[in-house]
C-alpha cells in the first residue's frame, strides 16, 4: 500500500492529525492497532469485558519501580479517548511558560494555542453539565466549601451525559465525545482511510527518510499478516508509551523514552452517613485546584469492583456492606520523578515502563491525602479509606492532618495513573528534546511525533486538551511547509 501521509494511532493525537491533513486534501492513511467496535454491542459492558475490548493488554500495564504503579491506556479505534472521563483543561499559562524556559519550546504561548483549543472545544462540545450535581459531587462540593477552598466543575467533552457511569468502559449513549464519534468520522468523511487491527511493528529507514512501515494486520479469520505501507511522511501518534517504544524498536533513540512523566494518583474511598450510590452515577465532576499545578483532587470512577480493589489494601469484607454510602476520590500530583520506556527483554516486542517517584511526589501525595481526607471528613464522611497498605481508616481531622508534616510510607503506597506523557519531549533544546517544537524528529526528513509523548513535561491537568491543541498546531505547521500538492 502507498500513502502520502501515514498516521500511526487513532487516539487524541492521531485523530486530530488525520482530520486536519485529510481536510487539506492530503492523502492520509491511519493504522490503528485496536479494533473498531460496534458501540451497541461493546460499549458500556462490565469492567472486565470493557477492558478486554478497549484497553491495552486488558488493562494490565504496570509501571515498574520501587513503588509499582497501575497504569492503563486505550487500544481501540479512538484510543484512550474512548475510555477517559472527558474532563477538559487548557494547558495552564504557568506550565507553558515553564516549557518555554526549560525546553525552548516555540509557538506555544496561551495566545498561540488558543485557536487550537477553541477548535477542539467546539468539535467536542466541551461544556459544563448544566444539571444539578449527583450526590458524590454534591458532598465533595460541601467539603470544599467547609474548607473554604475553591472547587470548580471541570468542563467535559460529554454534552448530554446520561450519568450511566460508563466512562471507563466506553460511553454506550454516545454522549462522551471520544474520537470514534467526534473527529474520526470527520477525518474519514474528508477522505482519510482508517485501518484497524493493524499494529505497526517497525518503521522502515532509508538514508535520512522513513520510507514506510511494517505492520501486522489481523484478518477477519484471526490470521495475522505482515504488510508494508509506503509513505512520504510518517506521524507517530501511538500514545505516550507506544510512540517511544516504536521509535526505539526502529533504532531511533536520541532522547526517546528516557523522560516518561506521569501524574501519580492515590485513591481513597469515603464512607458517608447518607446514601450516595456513586456506582450508579457519573463520577464526581469537581476538582479542587487550590494547590495546583503540583497537587489536585477530584472524583474517581467507582464501581463495586473498584471499591473492592481500593479497599483491598486493608481488607475487611464487611466494609463493602456500606457500598451504597461510599464514593471514590483521588489526589493526583504533577509527578516530578522520571521514567523510561523500553522494549521488554523477552523479545516479544512488548513495552516495559519504569518510573521512580521523586521525594517531592511522596511529599505532595502525603499533603494531598491530608487535605483530601480533611475535606471529605468536613463533608460528613465517617471514614476515609486510603489505598495505603497497613493504614487504618481516617476518622478524624487529627489523623488526617498529620500527613501535612509526615511522609506516607513509600513502600506501602498503592498508586495508579491514567496520565502519561513526555517520553519524546518537543522543543528547540537539542540536549533534551526528541523532536523540534512542532514534533519533527531531527535527522529524519519526514518523521513526526504528535501525541501525548510530545508534551515536554507533565501538564499538571488532564492532558487530552493539550494533546489535541498541540497536535492540531503541529499538523497545520506541517501543511504550511508542505506547500500545494
- When the beta carbons of 85 and 177 are compared against ligand FAD, the nearer one is 85
Interface residue list for ligand FAD (CB under 6 A) = 8-14, 31-34, 72-76, 79-81, 83-87, 168, 199-200, 237-240, 242, 246, 418-419, 451-452, 462-465, 467
CA distance 40 to 31: 24
With CA atoms as reference, report the closest residue to 393 among 404, 405, 385. Answer: 385
Choose the catalytic residue: 53, 263, 419, 477: 419
Beta strands in 9-109 (DSSP E): 28-31, 61-64, 69-71
- When the beta carbons of 30 and 323 are compared against ligand FAD, the nearer one is 30
- When the beta carbons of 246 and 369 are compared against ligand FAD, the nearer one is 246
CA distance 454 to 451: 6
With CA atoms as reference, report the closest residue to 302 among 466, 166, 103. Answer: 166
The pair phi, psi for residue 207, each rounded to 5°, is 60, -125
CB of 101 to ligand FAD, least distance (A): 23
| Coil/strand/helix, residue 459 | coil
Whether 419 is a known active-site residue: answer yes
CB of 265 to ligand FAD, least distance (A): 10
With CA atoms as reference, report the closest residue to 26 among 204, 187, 227, 228. Answer: 187
- When the beta carbons of 8 and 187 are compared against ligand FAD, the nearer one is 8
CB of 201 to ligand FAD, least distance (A): 7
- When the beta carbons of 65 and 70 are compared against ligand FAD, the nearer one is 70
CB of 367 to ligand FAD, least distance (A): 23
CB of 33 to ligand FAD, least distance (A): 4
Contacts of 480 (CB under 8 A, 6+ apart): none
Give the helix, strand, coil percentages of the chain, each rounded to 5: 35, 25, 40
User: What counts of helices (H) and strands (E) characterise the chain?
Assistant: 12, 20
CB of 410 to ligand FAD, least distance (A): 25
- When the beta carbons of 87 and 403 are compared against ligand FAD, the nearer one is 87
Cis peptide upstream of residue 293 (ω within 30 degrees of 0): yes
Residue nearest to ligand FAD as judged by C-beta position: 11
With CA atoms as reference, report the closest residue to 228 among 31, 362, 477, 26. Answer: 31
CA distance 163 to 171: 10
Cell numbers of 55, please?
Answer: 484497553
Catalytic residues: 419
Amino acid at each position: 500500500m502507498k500513502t502520502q501521509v501515514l498516521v500511526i494511532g487513532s487516539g487524541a493525537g492521531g485523530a486530530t492529525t488525520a482530520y486536519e491533513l485529510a481536510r487539506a486534501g492530503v492523502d492520509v492513511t491511519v493504522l490503528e492497532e485496536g479494533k473498531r467496535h460496534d458501540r451497541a454491542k461493546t460499549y458500556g459492558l462490565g469492567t472486565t469485558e470493557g477492558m478486554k475490548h478497549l484497553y491495552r493488554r486488558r488493562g494490565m500495564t504496570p509501571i515498574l519501580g520501587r513503588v509499582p504503579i497501575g497504569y492503563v491506556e486505550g487500544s481501540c479505534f479512538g484510543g484512550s479517548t474512548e475510555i477517559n472521563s472527558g474532563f477538559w483543561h487548557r494547558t495552564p499559562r504557568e506550565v507553558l511558560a515553564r516549557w518555554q524556559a526549560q525546553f525552548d519550546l516555540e509557538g506555544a504561548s496561551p495566545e498561540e494555542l488558543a485557536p487550537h483549543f477553541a477548535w477542539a472545544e467546539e468539535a467536542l462540545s466541551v461544556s459544563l453539565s448544566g444539571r444539578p450535581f449527583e450526590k458524590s459531587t454534591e458532598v465533595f462540593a460541601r467539603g470544599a466549601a467547609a474548607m473554604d477552598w475553591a472547587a470548580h466543575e471541570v468542563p467535559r467533552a460529554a454534552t448530554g451525559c446520561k450519568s450511566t457511569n460508563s466512562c471507563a468502559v466506553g460511553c454506550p449513549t454516545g454522549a462522551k465525545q471520544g474520537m470514534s464519534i467526534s473527529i474520526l468520522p470527520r477525518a474519514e468523511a474528508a477522505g482519510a482511510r482508517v485501518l484497524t487491527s493493524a499494529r505497526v511493528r517497525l518503521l522502515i529507514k532509508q538514508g535520512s527518510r522513513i520510507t514506510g512501515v511494517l505492520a501486522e494486520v489481523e484478518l477477519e479469520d484471526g490470521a495475522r499478516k505482515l504488510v508494508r505501507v509506503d509513505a512520504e511522511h510518517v506521524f507517530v501518534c501511538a500514545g505516550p508509551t507506544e510512540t517511544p517504544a516504536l521509535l526505539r524498536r526502529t533504532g531511533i533513540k536520541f532522547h526517546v523514552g528516557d523522560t516518561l512523566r506521569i501524574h501519580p494518583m492515590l485513591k481513597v474511598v469515603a464512607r458517608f452517613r447518607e446514601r450516595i450510590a456513586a456506582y450508579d452515577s457519573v463520577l464526581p465532576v469537581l476538582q479542587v485546584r487550590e494547590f495546583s499545578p503540583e497537587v489536585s483532587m477530584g472524583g474517581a470512577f467507582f464501581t463495586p469492583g473498584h471499591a473492592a480493589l481500593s479497599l483491598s489494601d486493608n481488607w475487611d469484607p464487611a466494609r463493602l456492606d456500606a457500598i451504597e454510602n461510599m464514593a471514590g476520590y483521588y489526589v493526583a500530583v504533577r509527578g516530578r520523578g522520571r521514567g523510561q520506556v523500553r522494549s521488554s527483554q523477552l523479545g516479544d516486542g512488548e513495552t516495559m515502563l519504569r518510573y521512580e517517584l521523586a521525594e517531592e511526589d511522596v511529599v505532595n501525595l502525603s499533603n494531598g491525602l491530608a487535605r483530601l481526607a480533611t475535606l471529605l471528613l468536613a463533608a460528613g464522611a465517617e471514614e476515609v479509606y486510603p489505598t495505603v497498605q497497613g493504614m487504618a481508616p481516617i476518622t478524624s481531622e487529627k489523623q488526617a492532618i498529620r500527613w501535612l508534616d509526615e511522609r506516607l510510607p513509600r513502600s506501602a503506597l498503592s498508586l495508579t495513573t491514567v496520565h502519561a506523557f513526555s517520553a519524546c519531549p518537543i522543543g528547540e533544546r537539542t540536549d533534551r528534546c526528541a523532536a523540534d517544537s512542532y514534533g519533527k524528529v531531527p535527522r529524519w526528513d519526514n518523521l513526526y511525533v504528535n501525541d501525548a509523548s510530545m508534551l515536554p513535561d507533565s501538564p499538571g491537568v488532564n492532558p487530552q486538551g493539550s494533546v489535541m491543541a498541540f497536535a492540531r498546531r503541529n499538523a497545520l505547521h506541517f501543511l504550511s511547509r508542505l506547500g500545494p500538492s
